[in-house]
Amino acid sequence: MNSTRLPRARSRSKQLLVILSSLALSVAGAGPAVRAGASPAPAAVQVASMQDVVPVPVRTEPATGADHAITSGTAIYIQPGSAGVGDYLAALLRRSTGYPLPVKTAPSTPTDGISLLLTGADPTVGNQGYQLDVTASAVVIRANQPAGLFAGVQTLRQLLPAAVESTSTQPGPWTIPGGRIVDHPRFAYRGAHLDVARHFFTVDEVKRYVDEISLYKVNHLHLHLTDDQGWRIQINSWPRLATYGGELEVGGTPGGYYTQDQYRDIVAYAQSRHITVVPEIDMPGHTNAALASYAELNCNNVAPPRRTDIQVGYSSLCIGKDVTYRFVADVIREVAALTPGPYLHIGGDEANSTSQQDYVTFLNKVLPLVQQQGKTAMGWHDIVDATPPTSAVPQYWQTGTSHAGVQAAARRGNKILMSPANKAYLDMKYNSSTRLGLSWAGFIEVQTAYEWNPGAYLSGVGESQVFGVEAPLWSETLLNIDDIEFMAFPRLPAIAELGWSPQSTHNWSAFRQRLAAQGPRWQVMGVDFYRSSQVPWDTGNPGACSAPAWEPTAAYVGGQQVSYNDHTWTARWWTRGDTPGNNTQNVWTDNGPC
């Protein structure tokens, strides 16, 4: 079984939607994947504002009367090193504008069109930042590296009307507000994590998520490839890991795995969006799929049955057997060879069935294996119990604001990746009525996801000791890309802003307004985002709703209509208290903007 898995229980329309998304990916080339058939928001012709960009830039200087219009005569100009970004931008703009937008060699002094230059940027932008200048005659993005140009293009996208995300030609106009933006990230590492082990997601679903996170300048995708419930990467030296260990998923439905070519395809696609894939092979716990696949990995040489529940903490590789380290070495070698990025994540969390001494023994043998393959080891912060080398990156995931072991590791020189579960875990429910997700770390509304400081969250771990920020998304309850989007948006942009923008710019009142302006863009992209009541969503001025406002204390029967968050909703059956768009039984049908 490979990544073209058997269909699980989902509506025929959603299956078709995924197929159409896949077609959009192949047709769009360098442009980001969006759902075919999506329509632009009603307010698409309005000029955006430089004040609406997410993450908020370091410095913004709007200029009145300097707006720039993209027309049928616009060209995109490149220099050596910027051709990839130029082709990406051209593919994006051609779909929605219908303009030819030829990609040409840049003149010495840009006087028209859109120029992507690796010279002359403000010295503060570093390797990932950019300088964007918009005048009536020309748009110029300057950076020191292609990654900076790509970041500048994501800002340019947000300065264009939401209809620019459409897969079909739209009427425009395509006006960019005038001014200058100088921008660079707070942390070099800004990550999104996707668990493909509990539920498996196809190559095209992962690529779609790559496109969505790239819009918010996320530059690492942490793929959780293995766990108790499934093994999702082909290992040639241990083939049953994928063919047997990857056959099922949570709930017992058909799972799947990535062939090595499919994994390379994901990695290359992410690279084209300047996103580094970080593979995770969880060990010594979270290994039941491996133990079930090969009896010799068990201390008693008896393979346990495969598990498709969501329990954790019960499995462990056999620490005292030589075959364990031959197995681990083979897996690390193959995965490292497939992954050009510098990091390899070894998990290491919740090894409750491994004694402390065995755990330390295991990590002391495994961490050098990662280094031997030329990779920097990452692991959940549990690895600090084994005193890893200072090059290793512990990822903090618990909810407390104090951890002696992590604090000691930071003092020794380890940089800490911040992912506190009660702030950054995108699989936590928004509130008690959320139809997806878990709640063991608490409920995380958008404001909660935004209002914390990664550089001061953990006592004894200051800004300079923080490696970056990552937003994990575990998939125990997530079946498809729609579920991924509902849990990630709008919280992922909140975490992305904490990782990119200076702490001094973080302001909830301002952020919620900028986040609201993303709503029409997500509507065009077909993103199934959660319409949090904390955000004053801009739905393109759809007009007044004719249906009465939803009341949480009122009872509704099937067929009754209400208005909520500038949408009309129809009750499918009797309900009371279930918030439209955020209900446990999916009792409301969204009829769209008023």
Tokens of 75: 């060209």
Quote the CA–CA distance of 284 and 282 in Å, as a whole number: 7
Which residue pairs from 50-54 have beta carbons closer than 8 angstroms and sit at least 24 positions apart in sequence? 50/159, 50/177, 50/179, 50/181, 51/514, 52/158, 52/513, 52/514, 52/517, 53/155, 53/158, 53/159, 53/181, 53/514, 54/158, 54/216, 54/493, 54/496, 54/497, 54/511, 54/514, 54/515, 54/518
Closest residue by Cα to residue 419 from 395, 444, 393: 395
Measured over the CA atoms of residue 135, residue 136, residue 142 and residue 148, the dihedral's sign is positive
Tell me if 578 sits within 8 A of 588, measured CB to CB: yes
Quote the CA–CA distance of 149 and 89 in Å, as a whole number: 10
DSSP codes, 46-97: S---GGG-SSPPSEEEE-TT--EEE-TT--EEE-TT-HHHHHHHHHHHHHHH
Quote the CA–CA distance of 588 and 576 in Å, as a whole number: 11
Exposed, middle or buried, 509 (CB in 10 Å: 0-12/13-18/19+)?
exposed
Tell me if 361 sits within 8 A of 387, measured CB to CB: no
**Is 212 part of the annotated catalytic residue set?**
no
Quote the CA–CA distance of 555 and 551 in Å, as a whole number: 8
Out of 247, 280, 350, 451, pick the active-site residue.
350
Quote the CA–CA distance of 321 and 336 in Å, as a whole number: 23
Residue appearing with tokens 């849990």: 487
Residue appearing with tokens 């509704």: 556
Partner residues linked to 579 by β-bridges: 582
Tokens of 316: 């462990």
Pairing of strands 59-62, 588-593: unpaired
Tell me if 466 sits within 8 A of 453, measured CB to CB: no
Quote the CA–CA distance of 452 and 201 in Å, as a whole number: 30
What is the set of active-site residues? 350
